[in-house]
A and B are shown apart, each in its own frame.
Chain A
Amino acid sequence: MTKSEDELTWKDLEIASIVTEPGSASKYKTGDWRSQRPTYKFKKCIKCGLCWIFCPQACIYQDDEGYFVADLYHCYGCGICAKECPTGVITMVEEGE
């Protein structure tokens, strides 16, 4: 569905307004909400995956070297990953720094 809710006509709607594209909401850029952003000192990273499992937005991914990084498209800067990291890899900094 390429039209936004402001553009859809009544004929565009699926029966009963059923949404047939699974996960289509992931286009929404929650990263725009951010007022702080995670920064990394990967030297300390033990690749335990705790940050990944504790991220409420599921925006952390494991890169090719095995380190865990937040995808800034969705990262809304809650800081849980920084708080839970057992080795202090992650520091939250003000957005714009």
Chain B
Amino acid sequence: MAKKAIDVGRDLPPKIRQRHAVYAPRPVTTKENFAQGNRACVGCAEALAVRLVCKALGDNVIIAMATGCMEIVSSQLPYTSWRVPWIHTLFENTAAVASGFEAGLKAMSRKGRTRLENVKAVGMAGDGGTADIGLQALSGALERGHNFLYICFDNEAYMNTGIQRSSATPYGASTTTSPAGKVSIGQLTWKKNMPAIAVAHDIPYVATACPSYPLDLMDKVAKAVATDGPAYIHILSVCPTGWRCPTELSVRIGRLAVETGIFPLYEVENGQYKLNIDLPKLKPVTEYLSLQGRFRHLSDGVINKIQQRVTAEYAKLKEKAASSLVPAGSQKDS
């Protein structure tokens, strides 16, 4: 008889608790609304992220998903990996489709034409489907203020079509359309700051997450579901295939992304920044870059440049978080 929940984090030594940000044992549902047997690559942390997100979403959801890795590995006719209502239509319209069924249910509920209540509309897309081709639809849906959660699963390139660059590909990464070569270091632009774009839309909840910190990720999803209005979560999804790293390191590399300050974990609630894991000392970026083949070609000079940028951006983020600590009773400038 399968258990309904499993306690995660029992008897962990303090250092391990710290490592995973699992500070106390927590029961986590054993329900897998993203079924086993999906066809993701071996060691895919995006699949892990989707699995964890689904645990936090619960059953009372409808998911719209963009064309991409997760869509393809979970929905080959005539089968499905999904145990919640799920729709895939196109690549760039996830937020529009999700806002459509949010509006549809809202109208039907008001007119007494449905018994469904509090169904959360969720949109899921990759970095390409969010920051590039899907940006317009996302911006529109956020601006219109629909009560929906949008999750970007960021594996930092168009992985499903063969590792082509997106605007979320980090500086210096080698992809098939930004290859490292004799006269190029790979991706020549810095990663587009999608969470900042979401924050600029003045929505109630924005967060970054990583499946290497599973409880933190699930808490954020739960918070976003409970938000009345648009919520955006950006999840770093390690891709061993595209990032050229060993499959068993997917979780560790995700952790290093956070520990080096390359992908800080934070929330922005109604414009107020909060760092979830404040690291007194960031690990050097080389610890993260050296594990991945897509950065193998980088010279010390470029790595230095990356280090400087990461340090500077992290400092800016800390500043935002500090200035968000407004004393009780005072008004925040808006």
Contacts and interface: CB of A to CB of B under 8 A. Distances in A.
The short answer to whether A and B are in direct contact, CB under 8 Å, is yes
Contacts of B160: none
B37 A28 contact: yes
Contacts of B28: 49, 53
A53 B77 contact: no
Interface of A: 1, 3, 5, 8, 13, 17, 19, 21-30, 33, 46-50, 52-59, 61-62, 71, 74, 76-80, 82-84, 86, 92
A interface SS class: loop
A3 B65 CA distance: 26
Nearest to A30: B37
B219 interface: no
Q: Which 7 A-B pairs have the closest CB atoms?
A: A79-B248, A78-B43, A23-B35, A25-B79, A56-B48, A49-B8, A26-B37
Nearest to A47: B10
Contacts of A62: 3, 6
B247 A79 contact: yes
Interface of B: 2-3, 6-13, 16, 20, 22, 28, 32, 34-40, 42-45, 47-48, 51-52, 74-84, 211, 214, 246-252
Contacts of B38: 25, 30, 57
A27 B37 contact: yes
Nearest to A20: B80
B251 A80 contact: yes
A71 B251 CA distance: 20
Contacts of A76: 42
Nearest to B246: A79
Contact of B78 (A8, A49, A86): A8
A8 B48 CA distance: 32
A24 B84 CA distance: 12
B78 to A, nearest CB: 5
Contact of A17 (B8, B13, B22, B77): B77
